[in-house]
A and B are shown apart, each in its own frame.
Chain A
Amino acid sequence: MTGIPLSHILIVSTGLFFIGMYGLFTRRNMITMLMAIELILNSVNINFIAFNKYLYPEKLDGIFFTIFIITIAAAEAAVAIAIIINLYRNHHSIDAEDAGEMKF
């Protein structure tokens, strides 16, 4: 609480964000891509809370956003898993390199 400047927290969340991006670019398995997406969403949550606490401590809007993001992330993860299972049924593989039907 005392002594940690806002920018440090922001750098942590930025680092987490880019780690998630790296995972999204590199991972071949779709479930691990989903994990990376969860990391990204979490970094955004940290950002919201930090801004709320440091810049607007009398309001609660950041918290509400965080709540909604968590909710929606949960719904989205469920739908993503459903899609992955459907894709698995058709291709018998969840490698992102194999799902290339949308090429030219």
Chain B
Amino acid sequence: MPGYLYTLLIPLLPLAVFLVLGLFGRKKMDAAAGIIGSVVLLTAAILAIITAYNYFNTAKVNQVYQEIIACKYTWLQFSPHVSIDMGILLDPISVLMLVVVTFISLMVHVFSLGYMKGEGRLAAYYAFLSLFTFSMLGLVLSSNIFQLYIFWELVGLSSYLLIGFYFDKPSAVAASKKAFIVTRFADLGFLIGILILALNAETLDFRILIERLTNTQSSWALAITGASFMGFSALTWGLVLVFAGGAGKSAMFPLHIWLPDAMEGPTPVSALIHAATMVVAGVYLVARLFPVFVMDGMALNIVAYTGAFSALFAAVIACTQTDIKRVLAYSTMSQIGYMMFALGVSKYGGEAGLGYMASMFHLFTHAFFKSLLFLGAGAVIHMVHSNEIKGMGGLRKLMPVTHISFLVACLAIAGIPPFAGFFSKEEILTAAFRANKFIYSIGLLVSGLTAFYMFRLYFSIFWGKEAAVHGSHGEGTATMRLPLVILTAGTLLAGFVPFSNYVSSDSIPFATSVDWIFSIAPVALAALAILLAANLYKKENDKPQKIASLLGGLYQSAYRKFYIDEIYVFITKKIIFNGIGRPAAWIDKNMVDGLMNGMASVTAEAAAFIKGIQSGKIQSYTLYFFGGIACLAVMVIYLWK
């Protein structure tokens, strides 16, 4: 078995790029910055693919893929048992994520060479992209839950830097703050969850933690299920809080509010972060701790229902939005909902772990077609200089490559065979059907809605009346078209990967096959939705307006994203600021400060009074003198012993 120490290079190469570009990047280096970033990422991607090839071919022992620790370094020793180690853990899902992250990052780098040409501060842009790549790679390779938390925060920071890249736009600044604050708030739950789990299992290392907590007879597992708070065991609390952190990062309801606003960042950034990599960090976290989640049915249920609800919620909203990136953002939220509930309905081991495998498979295929969609949207925006659907139309003649790639991606996301999305969605729906019919029905409904709104988008952009296009710079440079082509190829081929041979809940490969009878329902539903969308949007007509006015209030609420942002603002302003913040400030200012000021002013007044005795008037002094003598006389005469 070859040593895997070279995997250390994979995250360190982007880090080096970040340091070089961050410290030495200057304006005239802008063009070079992109080349440097792309070349280094290419190297990292090649290394990742080599790692994957090595791992999946050689790391099997007794049919089980081994967890390999490529390197380990003890960083902070809290106590003899508990320490934060920095290490690299290689197992099927981390190797999978290595490939996905480096590959998509490479595509985004190449696309940015063309898309961001002429923008300012490009050295900073590529530096941030590399920082993000480094953080994400560190996250997926973490062997220790605290190390994962560290990289988790780094990812949040990189996201903040990238969303707020156009820092002179107030909306971008507000969006970056919102993203950071919401995810940070969720990370509070994450941290408490880590502490609960680590306290009870007396370790922070993933392997040991999982080993201890999944063995129901071990003292740690008994301790954690024995301790309870408000009726739920400590295990439930720990897992639910960890999931809360993941829900924040993955934009699950109700912590999803940052994702649509995060579209203020440059489009390649949205493709990388908010489509393929950062938002799946939550899914990755649940998958990493999946054996422990299986121990607690309540936590898994919460994961499942949150995912299902978010999927439905986002799909409904996406049907009404008119900003191309916002539609894609809600679509991301919906697809991640799929991944979450797939994990939620899964069990552990072999066939029963189908949901786990399906979730990871969907993560893999989703990375391809979602980043393809975002990059295509970027090309369209580059052409039309606007994000609004209403300003677009009939672009299929002007942008053939983008048109075909976008169409392929939409077919994939709708779940039409033989594109990638079909296979992964099938697995998910099968797993849901076997475990929870209610969630299956939601998943089915959402797949129909997905097809509808994606094709609504497609037809509005590429068919219909031709839009007024300014400038004749064509479809975009070769560097913009190349990633689209590569990703289209990926979307076409990714579905055929025999995923269950590589990734499964217990790291033992198992066989799956497509149940064609079962897939009739979702595919038919998707096809119907596509036809409906074509009817409504292919040619200009007023049927959409009529339907919208028919639906009235429901349409309005969906368009306004169900007023969740307004509710949050209300809660923070009226309840927290007015109800808690203001009285606390009042107490601090008037009672605490008031007490101090009162003491000071009493002292000052007493001092002023005493000061007045020194009036400078001789006769007052004489009187005081006489008084003193009288007292002394009395003392001496009567009290002197």
Contact = CB atoms under 8 A, between A and B. Distances in A.
Contacts of B623: 25
Contacts of A21: 626
Contact of A103 (B615, B619, B622, B626): B615
A26 B617 CA distance: 12
A104 B152 CA distance: 66
Nearest to A30: B618
B614 interface: yes
A24 B614 contact: no
Main secondary structure of the interface of B (DSSP, over half): helix
A24 B625 CA distance: 12
A102 interface: yes
A103 B616 CA distance: 4
A17 to B, nearest CB: 11
A58 interface: no
B617 A24 contact: no
A96 B619 contact: yes
Contacts of B28: none
B611 interface: yes
Interface string A81-104: 000000000000000110111111
A25 B626 CA distance: 10
A104 B617 CA distance: 11
B622 A100 contact: no
B336 to A, nearest CB: 76
Contact of B616 (A24, A27, A102): A102
Interface residues of B, number: 11
A104 B626 CA distance: 21
Contacts of B618: 33, 96, 99
Contacts of A24: 619, 622
Contacts of B626: 21, 25
Contact of B619 (A26, A101, A102, A104): A26
B195 to A, nearest CB: 61
Nearest to B610: A104
Contacts of A102: 614, 616
Interface in B568-623: 611-612, 614-619, 622-623
B613 to A, nearest CB: 9
Given A21-B626, A25-B623, A96 B617 contact: yes
A104 B622 contact: no
A102 B613 CA distance: 11
Contacts of A27: 619
B615 A100 contact: yes
Contacts of B611: 104
Contacts of B622: 24-25
B619 A25 contact: yes
B616 A100 contact: yes
A53 B31 CA distance: 121
A86 to B, nearest CB: 16
Contacts of B612: 104
Interface string A12-50: 000000000100111100000100000000000000000
- Find the residue from B612, B618, B622 having the highest chain A CB count within 10 A: B618
Nearest to B620: A25
Contacts of A97: 617
Contacts of A96: 617-619
A24 to B, nearest CB: 6
A28 to B, nearest CB: 8
Nearest to B626: A21
Nearest to B612: A104
A101 B618 CA distance: 11
A6 to B, nearest CB: 19
A96 B618 CA distance: 7
Nearest to A21: B626
Nearest to A27: B619
Contacts of B614: 102-104
A24 B622 CA distance: 8
30 contacts: A21-B626, A24-B622, A25-B619, A25-B622, A25-B623, A25-B626, A26-B619, A33-B618, A33-B619, A96-B617, A96-B618, A96-B619, A97-B617, A99-B616, A99-B618, A100-B615, A100-B616, A100-B617, A101-B616, A102-B614, A102-B616, A103-B614, A103-B615, A103-B616, A103-B617, A104-B611, A104-B612, A104-B614, A104-B615, A104-B616
Interface of B: 611-612, 614-619, 622-623, 626
- List the 8 shortest-distance A-B pairs measured between CB atoms, nearest first: A103-B616, A100-B616, A102-B616, A104-B614, A104-B611, A103-B615, A96-B618, A25-B619
Given A101-B616, A103-B616, A104-B614, 10 more contacts: A25-B619, A25-B622, A25-B626, A33-B618, A96-B619, A97-B617, A100-B615, A103-B617, A104-B612, A104-B615
